[in-house]
Amino acid sequence: MGLFDMLMGMGVGVDINAKVDEARQDDNAILLDVRTREEYNAGHIEGAVCIPLDQISKAARLYGNKSLYVYCASGSRSAQAVSMLKQAGVQQVENIGGIGGYRGTVVRG
């Protein structure tokens, strides 16, 4: 794996805003926030489901047949989550990076 592949796997170079729009156009898509519950409550993308990284197997069971758009704070945890979900057999899963790059309204609570 080259540096470019590694960075893309971490969501670097991915426009989270475009990916959120893409997910919202897909009735089969789930926006998946893999940060902690506390981070999620401090501010998340509207409509996102919170399943922290340490509970990611739950996402595979609940949403394994959906298109998963995964984000976290910076793209690192979401890259780990995508790798774990792929190992669990989830076919449609993508790291869309970190919420820090999101320009839309965030929901608190």
Name the residues annotated as catalytic: 72
Asked whether residue 106 is assigned to any structural domain, the reply reads no
Number of domain units in the chain:
1
* CA gap 2, 81 in Å, rounded: 20
* CA gap 63, 68 in Å, rounded: 8
**Is the CB of residue 107 less than 8 Å from the CB of residue 45?**
yes
Q: Which amino acid is at 76?
A: S
pLDDT, residue 10, reads 44
Asked whether residue 108 is assigned to any structural domain, the reply reads no
Asked whether residue 7 is assigned to any structural domain, the reply reads yes
**Parent domain of 85:** 3-101
**Is the CB of residue 14 less than 8 Å from the CB of residue 31?**
no
What CATH number does the domain containing 11 carry? 3.40.250.10
Q: Is 16 helix (H, G, I), strand (E, B) or coil?
A: helix
pLDDT, residue 11, reads 53
**Is the CB of residue 30 less than 8 Å from the CB of residue 61?**
no
Asked whether residue 107 is assigned to any structural domain, the reply reads no
From first to last of its 109 residues, the chain has per-residue pLDDT tens of 443 344 444 455 799 999 999 999 999 999 999 999 999 999 999 999 999 999 999 999 999 999 999 999 999 999 999 999 999 999 999 999 999 999 999 999 9
